[in-house]
Structure 1
């Protein structure tokens, strides 16, 4: 297995050389009739897993598929499959997305993958059965637009992150179900870019897509003009992987059981043998699949953890050297990593300094690269673009997003030559690739709200009988959102509930809310959320304790638009419907609502309008009447190590087992905890 990891390391280096020598061959062109050629073959970017020692490249998949470029037929039905981590399936009709199934929600496995070289030990029968199970869930549960009939067969099927043998197995399995479709390929970052740009309201945009991988690069820039999206620049550095590798040095981030003996032991550690060390630290098998799943959990924790320390010049220097040289100058990267490793092993204080320094340097480097590419492209275009789109897994880094917004938009800088604002899609992570894949065949005619395109509870048909058996009450009969707001605010409804349990005066409740279709993307946006009032510090700590999360993890406020428009919360009106920004909360607001902000004073907020989510918006306004601010704090409704919940059974299991969870609202049914609180 060690040879496999070294082989993968060589693949990455070959990858960088390929990126450096690549051209616009991955962008579509226009045929003689002016029809965009919206699909392009993946060239030379797949490796044979059976030859891990040499990791030879293969064009087999691209050669297998025909590359005809006939115009799309009228109102085509398209299905897209993404196979790597955050595997997913999406259906679109005539450019409108009908539904997205993120497979981790169905299989209840975080970062679920079903391909992309991660299925080496799966038989074809198991591989086919898993995809068919997911496909059946999509075809039976997809809710299509009122004017559309959900398709049972498809004109096009689009692939992302499949190897050749995986595609062959998928095709044999699903074609009898979806019909004799035309199969297409889409490149990784191009799919990210199409999702971000077409989902925005911008008529022109500068687009940055960056993450820890992709068959077409790591850090790509595009310009969108009308329906045209063109690649304009690539940077051959993998900042996403560099970020995750620095996290290995931070035991409060990784939670590793064997940190000291592995990281601070005598064995040499370099980025190339780091997967072996991660496996040893966590006691998991040394396989690409297991190590990748562990490391994927690092980034979000790292970002929150970085707020606990203050950067210093020396650690900042070496962190910058590592990020800048990763995959470009291996000697320099190894030297920087060795210094950072030694510094981290000095103890917790050093680790927190390292985290703060690394986050600051990483964010500043993103700003530097982005600025050079933006101004260079604007100079070539000879005109400004309307907006900025940030996408890819690294666009989940809200600190970098906020810095780009503050630095490069006319909204903040009052410079009319700059773009007007920044947009990040609700699923900038790899789970969103399938929507970009749909749109690589047929772009949408207008922007479409995407945040609630997931699936209803998979066992929704059991809800009414379960509610009757457990003596749940209908919220609409108790008083609707006003009753729920009164509970959350600690009003008479909550006082009566506490008194009935013999616990008068107990702190305000934490309530899970499970409504309608699930969120599309990694953020809980009020449809699968844990909610609480923000006017105490202890409530944030209770949220983290309930989920068995580290004490430094942030919770995210959801705030009604009206509360943002008076500029009281942030001093500026920053709309962020998908929790993608991190502005500073004003000091007097932090004083009165200490649960609102992270330890660094920022808040990764969700702005909520009546148009985007009327029920949550009305709840926020009702809470505002009681506590003085139309806001709640919110974190995803899931148990430790599991994806966001999507079954009645799991919702109520958590209500029974999580000590600090007081109620679960599922649609109109309010379930009360029967446990006595200590």
Structure 2
């Protein structure tokens, strides 16, 4: 049985599943090279490089009645596949009869390995809903589901809202229709206040530790709900800070007028700190509510806020007795995986939990084709030891191998690597990647050594880089380039089984330095998607100051002339 699922909207994606196995999952931006791209037509074409027919097309959307609304554009995917089919095969189209948050829940639950779970979903706007209680369009903010196999997602708590002034309604127990903004939307508002696009909230997460508690800044919550006085809703796209209403903010705005940001003020940093603290605390309250309403000890966190690795670690600290799974493909792209898995279990009644072991979901490329791509360049045979020594000498080295990572985290297949012991390493690599000065970097560490360096709150691993964990005392002096100002680092634990070549490279660096860790960041420049093909990788090197690319599958080291040689 072959299922092709597509997620439309920003973070558009395609998931191809054959007999229950993901053949590939890919975000459209990796092929189009436009960040956050939607309409995954290129992904659909890529799918038919792997199969000559499909049995089911699943379209994931933000309107339950989507296929009946021409303006949504959803019908175009069915038409596109029919053109590809050209009467050679027939297929069934399913416009998933789930709300957006249910698709997030399906992605997280089926990947968690849990038999049953409470799913806590939080993102910006979710599905666009209509309810008889109010005439306005409503948007999903936070939802709790009780999930069971094969396809049971019982809604036990929900908050939806609108930009209209409608007050507070509870039409049935634990279903709330309000004028109050969701906490992900408030996070986006502060993201914009600090000069970033709303969709780049991860930058705000990096800025937050530079702030401090500031009681002069109004709280983002009142009696457990978003502060409407502080937030001006402009849903579904975003929300704005109502700076004019608060003198401390209106005065601060004089130093960073819209469209202009030379550096961040102390107030901006304190705003970032406050929204991070208050929204993560609100998520903890939702987890407590999920346990109360479902009796579950298994918790799945998904939706856009699920990528907040600082909050994710807070859940570990707060709830040591809960089994918490934070889905690594939490953003909207992951809903194509959720849609495919939901359809699979709908058709098969399969109740066997299968934990997601890897997110290396990209297309498989033939390493033999790399030789042609690098012909004429400065190429030499190499070893793990050679590459480790090159990194130790202070060189930035990229690694390109195998299938690309699903989601936003680079996990050793499309990564930029550096020596974590170099004191000003963060500034060096931020400069080369054209990133903001304050943004921290992640690291990869041999799994068996992780407890010597970091506090995982009793957990054994974090293979998908989903938690900003605290380092042990003194570690910040040993690997300063990857430890953030709050003494945390977003880490990836690595084993040979998980990623053989990458593990052996880290091990080689360990033998040279006594440090079983590599500085790891995504293989891209600021504002660009992660590289997908070797041609993308070579173009990135040619237009940057990075010289080296390591191809472990053929044990070649490529040195690329770039703009630093001009």
After TM superposition, the score normalised by the length of structure 1 is: 0.69
Q: 1:605-643 CA distances to partner (integer Å, 9 max, x unpaired)?
A: 111122221221222122112222211111111122110
1:364 and 2:281 equivalent? yes
Quick one: which of 473, 484, 498 aligns to 2:387? 484
SS in 2 for 1:402: helix
1:245 and 2:170 equivalent? no
1:230 and 2:154 equivalent? yes
After TM superposition, the score normalised by the length of structure 2 is: 0.81
Quick one: which of 536, 539, 546 aligns to 2:422? 536
1:452 and 2:452 equivalent? no
Asked if the contact 2:404/2:532 (under 8 Å) is kept, the reply is yes
Counterpart Cα distance in 2 of 1:85 and 1:322: 33
- Per the alignment, residue 125 of structure 2 pairs with 213
1:636 and 2:522 equivalent? yes
Offset at residue 578 of structure 1 (A) = 1.2
- Per the alignment, residue 118 of structure 1 pairs with none
Asked if the contact 1:557/1:632 (under 8 Å) is kept, the reply is yes
Counterpart Cα distance in 2 of 1:328 and 1:204: 39
1:137 and 2:9 equivalent? no
Counterpart Cα distance in 1 of 2:11 and 2:326: 18
Counterpart Cα distance in 2 of 1:424 and 1:330: 28
Counterpart Cα distance in 2 of 1:554 and 1:366: 23
Counterpart Cα distance in 1 of 2:92 and 2:518: 47
Counterpart Cα distance in 2 of 1:537 and 1:578: 26
Quick one: which of 578, 585, 600 aligns to 2:464? 578
SS in 2 for 1:301: helix
Asked if the contact 2:220/2:230 (under 8 Å) is kept, the reply is no
Q: 1:372-405 CA distances to partner (integer Å, 9 max, x unpaired)?
A: 2322322xxxxx43x2211111101111111112
Offset at residue 201 of structure 1 (A) = 2.1
Counterpart Cα distance in 2 of 1:663 and 1:171: 43
Counterpart Cα distance in 2 of 1:360 and 1:337: 23
Give the alignment of 1:574-653 within 5 angstroms: 574=459, 575-653=461-539
Give the alignment of 1:114-263 within 5 angstroms: 114=39, 131=41, 133-140=42-49, 142=50, 150=51, 152-161=53-62, 163=66, 164-165=69-70, 166-178=73-85, 179-186=89-96, 187-215=99-127, 217-227=140-150, 228-236=152-160, 237-251=181-195, 254=196
Offset at residue 598 of structure 1 (A) = 1.0
Q: 1:197-252 CA distances to partner (integer Å, 9 max, x unpaired)?
A: 1111222222111100211622111122343432221123522221111222213x
- Per the alignment, residue 435 of structure 2 pairs with 549
Offset at residue 603 of structure 1 (A) = 0.7
Counterpart Cα distance in 2 of 1:229 and 1:328: 35
- Per the alignment, residue 319 of structure 1 pairs with 220
Offset at residue 194 of structure 1 (A) = 1.1
- Per the alignment, residue 311 of structure 2 pairs with 400
Offset at residue 590 of structure 1 (A) = 0.8
Offset at residue 152 of structure 1 (A) = 1.8
Quick one: which of 341, 346, 350 aligns to 2:267? 350
Task: Give the gaps of 5 or more residues in structure 2.
Answer: 130-139, 161-180, 234-239, 256-264
Structure 1 pair 610/377, CA: closer, same or farther in 2 (3 Å)?
same
Q: 1:50-78 CA distances to partner (integer Å, 9 max, x unpaired)?
A: xxxxxxxxxxxxxxxxxxxxxxxxxx321
SS in 2 for 1:522: coil
Counterpart Cα distance in 2 of 1:466 and 1:560: 32
What root-mean-square deviation, in Å, do the aligned CA atoms of Structure 1 and Structure 2 show?
2.7
Structure 1 pair 564/337, CA: closer, same or farther in 2 (3 Å)?
farther
- Per the alignment, residue 328 of structure 2 pairs with 426
Quick one: which of 305, 309, 314 aligns to 2:207? 305
SS in 1 for 2:498: coil
Counterpart Cα distance in 2 of 1:460 and 1:322: 58
Counterpart Cα distance in 1 of 2:466 and 2:223: 26
Counterpart Cα distance in 2 of 1:656 and 1:535: 27
SS in 2 for 1:645: coil
SS in 1 for 2:470: coil
Q: Which has the larger share of strand?
A: 2
Give the alignment of 1:325-336 within 5 angstroms: 325=226
Counterpart Cα distance in 2 of 1:670 and 1:595: 24
Counterpart Cα distance in 1 of 2:125 and 2:253: 29
Task: Give the paired residue count.
Answer: 497
SS in 2 for 1:358: helix
Offset at residue 552 of structure 1 (A) = 0.6
Offset at residue 327 of structure 1 (A) = 6.8
Counterpart Cα distance in 2 of 1:611 and 1:460: 20
1:662 and 2:547 equivalent? yes
Asked if the contact 1:91/1:99 (under 8 Å) is kept, the reply is yes
- CA radius of gyration, larger in: 1
Structure 1 pair 334/536, CA: closer, same or farther in 2 (3 Å)?
closer
Structure 1 pair 93/326, CA: closer, same or farther in 2 (3 Å)?
farther
Offset at residue 151 of structure 1 (A) = 5.4
Offset at residue 334 of structure 1 (A) = 7.5
Counterpart Cα distance in 2 of 1:533 and 1:226: 45
Task: Give the gaps of 5 or more residues in structure 1.
Answer: 1-75, 115-129, 143-149, 255-293, 379-383, 411-418, 491-507
Counterpart Cα distance in 2 of 1:396 and 1:510: 27
Quick one: which of 424, 440, 444 aligns to 2:342? 440
1:568 and 2:453 equivalent? yes
- Per the alignment, residue 468 of structure 1 pairs with 375
Q: Which has the larger share of helix?
A: 1
Asked if the contact 2:78/2:93 (under 8 Å) is kept, the reply is no
